[in-house]
């Protein structure tokens, strides 16, 4: 094929999108009968800071070795509705031209069926669990990764989209033309030369991919057909405008497309290879994307002697400082080459590297994996920062320890006065025993004293003075704050705040509920239960009283002459009754100590349990629900990073 043929192909693409004629029969679901999805969610204005991605710290999945993948959420960065686990492939046409293959061929479907798919599913689950706890801005990057992963998976797996990026005058367009074998992108001294991205596809079926990049049909080209054409089979090359262009629209094109391509070739020249803008705005943030990055030092023909090697070594040093791993000695990383697009020096080596890179068909999965690493790194402060660094008793674990729960229950019991209620119940049991088993003369005296005492002293049962009520409320609030701080210790700020808010919401109305418990549970209803010995003690006390009465009446009868004089027997009876009554009362009091103590402890236990149950239902359960949600999202976050959950 001659250059005339390439120009003819260019003419065919001027009036209609790729796939309308010369680019038909590529991927199933792409081409004339199935136009591409167009610039989907996240293709416009997503990365307004111009970053390709942020450097990830998680474990990266090597897609070239068959690492799997999954589909992203297709609902945009707002809804994040998880789609069905199995996504139907693109609808294939009834007939496929010879040499064409399905767009969902094994090139992508195989790469998306292992750890990468599990990581994407985990990220989707993570976003779903976090929507009500984190703001949309925090989850925006994760949503974008899911959207772009889903969009890329639906498109051709036989193609690898590679963008050529660089600064003004670096020779991007010259390199683009050299790889294509024909002048496609305009070159010259006028700056900026490239005003809009231009696409060149070595294989049919890339229409959907170019639609996604927003490249119109008039800017889609085909390379010059020749012996080297098969080397780059499956390559879709994009010539970008200058990233340092004075025209804002040009920079916007660069930033948008860099977020959508599978790989990037950065073209630098001997004058601007150390440019701070290039390293700080692009290379350093994309350090985690080293496996899908090429860095070529162009225009080495301008360097005399061994100056090219010195500049190349310095470039490698700068890339190392940026944190970009270099693919040397067979290790995965960025490929760094020295070329001259003008003279052709090094172009063959670059073409071979691109050919091998494209043949592996793993660039898309590698790019998504790197995006996942970057998203996980960005989400680190809201999911993992500070985890496991709990203070005090809770050190080294997430959640509330049993000791913290018991401490909270003890504070509530103190606020409702459980100990005082138990002591009151114990005194009540003793008073009841004293009334039943005490001497009637002593009971009569106590009744007389009660009648003489001032009326209205003290407060009604179940009520407390205002200052004591305020103190109890403060104790409840302090207990809630303490348990909330214990539960939130070591959690990332959003989740710690959610735990505290759950505790505060649950504490609303808690003092009033505890007051009601004091009235219903703290005051036992009816008389205290009687032990088995109680009736015998009552009968004995009645017998002692009867002896006193009989002896007294007998003496009176003798005095008035009704009975025969005999002081011995009535005096003995009265003495026995007078001495026996207090003895029975003392014995009953001693015997009542145990039952009274148990009765008081039982009353205290019931009030403690009621207060603990109220606090658990209103405070601890909502806090536990928030902690459970955090454990779930933390587990999903670990899966997103690619690590194994222990």
Please tell me the distance from the alpha carbon of residue 149 to that of residue 366, in angstroms, as a whole number.
Answer: 11
Confidence of residue 163 (pLDDT cuts 50, 70, 90): very high
pLDDT at 443: 67
Higher pLDDT: 193 or 148? It is 148
The mean pLDDT of 236-243, rounded to a whole number, is: 93
Least confident span in 52-61, 284-293, 378-387, 442-451? 52-61
Confidence of residue 62 (pLDDT cuts 50, 70, 90): very low
pLDDT at 472: 76
Please tell me the distance from the alpha carbon of residue 640 to that of residue 646, in angstroms, as a whole number.
Answer: 14
Least confident span in 114-118, 193-197, 356-360? 193-197
How confident is the model over 336-369, as pLDDT tens digits? 999 999 999 999 999 999 999 999 999 999 999 9
pLDDT at 454: 61
Do you find a cis peptide bond into 192, omega within 30 degrees of 0? yes
| Average pLDDT over all residues of the chain | 75
Confidence of residue 418 (pLDDT cuts 50, 70, 90): confident
pLDDT at 550: 78
Please tell me the distance from the alpha carbon of residue 157 to that of residue 367, in angstroms, as a whole number.
Answer: 13
Helices (H), 285-417: 307-321, 347-360, 363-383, 402-416
- Measured torsion, CA atoms of residues 308, 312, 318, 322, in degrees rounded to the nearest 10: 150
Higher pLDDT: 645 or 336? It is 336
- Which residues on adjacent β-strands are paired with residue 238? 163, 199
Q: Is 101 helix (H, G, I), strand (E, B) or coil?
A: coil
Please tell me the class of the 3-89+103-383 domain: alpha beta
pLDDT tops 60 at residue 11:
no
Q: Is 42 helix (H, G, I), strand (E, B) or coil?
A: coil
Which position has the token pair 């009601």? 516
Confidence of residue 197 (pLDDT cuts 50, 70, 90): very high
pLDDT tops 70 at residue 138:
yes
b/e burial code for range 575-584 (CB count within 10 A of at least 16 → b) = eebbebbeeb
Cα Rg of the chain (Å, integer): 44
Most confident of 287-296, 442-451, 453-462: 287-296
pLDDT at 106: 40
Which position has the token pair 């490239």? 194
pLDDT at 109: 47
pLDDT tops 80 at residue 606:
yes
pLDDT at 438: 63
Confidence of residue 155 (pLDDT cuts 50, 70, 90): very high
pLDDT tops 80 at residue 375:
yes
The mean pLDDT of 258-266, rounded to a whole number, is: 96
The mean pLDDT of 269-296, rounded to a whole number, is: 93
Please tell me the distance from the alpha carbon of residue 359 to that of residue 234, in angstroms, as a whole number.
Answer: 8
Least confident span in 20-34, 108-122, 276-290, 315-329? 20-34
pLDDT at 404: 87
Query: Could you tell me the two tokens for 515?
Result: 């007051």
Burial, 310: exposed, middle or buried (Cβ in 10 Å; 0-12, 13-18, 19+)?
exposed
pLDDT tops 90 at residue 40:
no
pLDDT tops 70 at residue 5:
no
CA distance between the termini of the chain: 59
Q: Is 155 helix (H, G, I), strand (E, B) or coil?
A: coil
Most confident of 36-40, 44-48, 546-550, 604-608: 604-608
Q: What is the DSSP letter of 326?
A: B
Higher pLDDT: 21 or 537? It is 537
Higher pLDDT: 558 or 289? It is 289
pLDDT at 608: 86
pLDDT at 567: 74
The mean pLDDT of 165-194, rounded to a whole number, is: 79
pLDDT at 112: 66
Helices (H), 214-296: 248-258, 276-278
How much of the chain exceeds pLDDT 70, in percent?
70
Distances, alpha carbon 414 to alpha carbons 407, 419, 420, 480, 482, in Å:
10, 7, 9, 13, 15
Q: What angle do CA 535, 541, 546 make, to 5 degrees?
A: 125
Distances, alpha carbon 479 to alpha carbons 414, 597, 604, in Å:
10, 28, 19
Give phi and psi for 553, each to the nearest 5. Answer: -65, -35
Of 530, 537, 529, the closest CA to residue 585 belongs to: 537
Q: Are 158 and 236 in contact (CB under 8 A)?
A: no
Confidence of residue 206 (pLDDT cuts 50, 70, 90): very high
How confident is the model over 308-319, as pLDDT tens digits? 999 999 999 999
Q: Which helix (H) or strand (E) is 544 found in, with range?
A: helix 534-559
Query: Could you tell me the two tokens for 234?
Result: 């499956």
Please tell me the distance from the alpha carbon of residue 497 to that of residue 505, in angstroms, as a whole number.
Answer: 12
pLDDT at 600: 79
Please tell me the distance from the alpha carbon of residue 630 to that of residue 615, in angstroms, as a whole number.
Answer: 22
How much of the chain exceeds pLDDT 90, in percent?
34
Confidence of residue 188 (pLDDT cuts 50, 70, 90): low
Please tell me the distance from the alpha carbon of residue 178 to that of residue 173, in angstroms, as a whole number.
Answer: 8
Of 418, 413, 425, 432, the closest CA to residue 599 belongs to: 425
Higher pLDDT: 553 or 128? It is 128
pLDDT at 43: 37
Q: 205: left (phi > 0), else alpha (psi -120 to 50), else beta? A: left
Helices (H), 266-362: 276-278, 307-321, 347-360
Residue ranges of domains in the chain: 3-89+103-383, 392-448+463-641
pLDDT tops 60 at residue 328:
yes
pLDDT at 453: 63
Least confident span in 105-109, 274-278, 340-344, 570-574? 105-109
Confidence of residue 162 (pLDDT cuts 50, 70, 90): very high
Give phi and psi for 263, each to the nearest 5. Answer: -155, 165
Least confident span in 493-507, 515-529, 609-623? 515-529
Higher pLDDT: 477 or 461? It is 477
Query: Could you tell me the two tokens for 102?
Result: 């399905």
Confidence of residue 644 (pLDDT cuts 50, 70, 90): low
């Amino acid at each position: 094929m001659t250059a005339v043929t390439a120009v003819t192909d260019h003419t065919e693409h001027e009036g209609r999108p790729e796939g309308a004629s010369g680019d038909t029969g590529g991927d199933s679901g792409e081409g004339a009968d199935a136009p591409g999805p167009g610039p989907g969610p996240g293709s416009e204005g997503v990365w307004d800071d111009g970053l390709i991605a942020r450097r990830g710290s998680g474990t990266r999945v090597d897609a070239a070795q068959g690492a799997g993948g999954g589909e992203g959420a297709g609902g945009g960065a707002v809804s994040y509705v998880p789609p069905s686990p199995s996504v139907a492939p693109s609808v294939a046409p009834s007939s496929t031209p010879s040499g064409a293959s399905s767009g969902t061929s094994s090139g992508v479907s195989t790469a998306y069926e292992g750890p990468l798919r599990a990581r994407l599913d985990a990220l989707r689950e993570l976003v779903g669990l976090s929507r009500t706890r984190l703001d949309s801005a925090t989850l925006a990057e994760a949503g974008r990764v899911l959207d772009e992963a889903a969009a890329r998976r639906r498109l051709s797996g036989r193609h690898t989209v590679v963008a050529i990026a660089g600064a003004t005058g670096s020779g991007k367009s010259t390199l683009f033309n050299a790889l294509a074998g024909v002048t496609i992108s305009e070159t010259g001294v006028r700056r900026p030369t490239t005003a809009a991205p231009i696409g060149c596809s070595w294989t049919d079926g890339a229409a959907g991919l170019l639609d996604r990049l927003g490249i119109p049909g008039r800017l889609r080209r085909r390379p010059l057909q020749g012996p080297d054409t098969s080397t780059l089979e499956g390559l879709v090359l994009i010539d970008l405008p200058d990233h340092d262009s004075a025209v804002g629209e040009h920079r916007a094109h660069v930033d948008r497309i860099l977020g959508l391509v599978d790989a990037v070739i950065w073209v630098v020249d001997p004058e601007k290879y150390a440019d701070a803008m290039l390293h700080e705005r692009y290379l350093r943030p994309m350090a985690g994307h080293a496996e899908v990055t090429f860095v070529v030092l162009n225009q080495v023909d301008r360097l005399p002697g061994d100056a090219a090697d010195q500049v190349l070594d310095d470039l490698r040093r700068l890339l190392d400082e940026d944190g970009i791993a270099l693919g040397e000695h067979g290790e995965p990383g960025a490929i760094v080459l020295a070329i001259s697009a003008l003279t052709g020096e090094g172009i063959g080596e670059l073409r071979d590297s691109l050919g091998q890179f494209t043949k592996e068909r793993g660039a898309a999965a590698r790019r998504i994996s790197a995006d996942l690493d970057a998203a996980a790194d960005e989400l680190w402060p809201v999911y993992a920062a500070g985890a496991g660094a709990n203070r005090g008793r809770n050190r080294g674990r997430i959640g509330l320890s049993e000791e913290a729960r018991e401490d909270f229950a003890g504070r509530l019991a103190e606020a409702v006065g459980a100990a005082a209620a138990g002591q009151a119940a114990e005194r009540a049991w003793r008073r009841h025993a004293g009334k039943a088993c005490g001497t009637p003369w002593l009971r009569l005296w106590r009744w007389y004293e009660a009648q003489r005492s001032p009326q209205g002293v003290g407060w009604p049962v179940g009520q407390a003075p205002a200052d004591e009520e305020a103190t109890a409320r403060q104790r409840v609030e302090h207990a809630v704050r303490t348990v909330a701080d214990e539960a939130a210790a070591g959690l990332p700020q959003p989740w710690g705040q959610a735990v505290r808010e759950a505790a505060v919401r649950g504490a609303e109305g808690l003092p009033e509920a505890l007051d009601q418990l004091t009235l219903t549970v703290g005051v036992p209803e009816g008389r205290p239960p009687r032990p088995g010995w109680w009736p015998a003690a009552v009968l004995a006390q009645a017998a002692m009283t009867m002896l006193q009465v009989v002896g007294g009446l007998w003496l009176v009868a003798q005095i008035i002459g009704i009975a025969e004089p005999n002081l011995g027997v009535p005096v003995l009876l009265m003495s026995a009754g007078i001495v026996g009554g207090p003895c029975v009362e003392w014995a009953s009091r001693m015997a009542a100590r145990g039952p009274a103590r148990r009765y008081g402890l039982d009353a205290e236990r019931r009030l403690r349990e009621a207060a603990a149950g109220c606090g658990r239902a209103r405070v601890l359960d909502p806090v536990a629900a928030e902690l459970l949600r955090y454990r779930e999202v933390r587990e999903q976050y670990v899966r997103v990073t690619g690590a194994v959950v222990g």
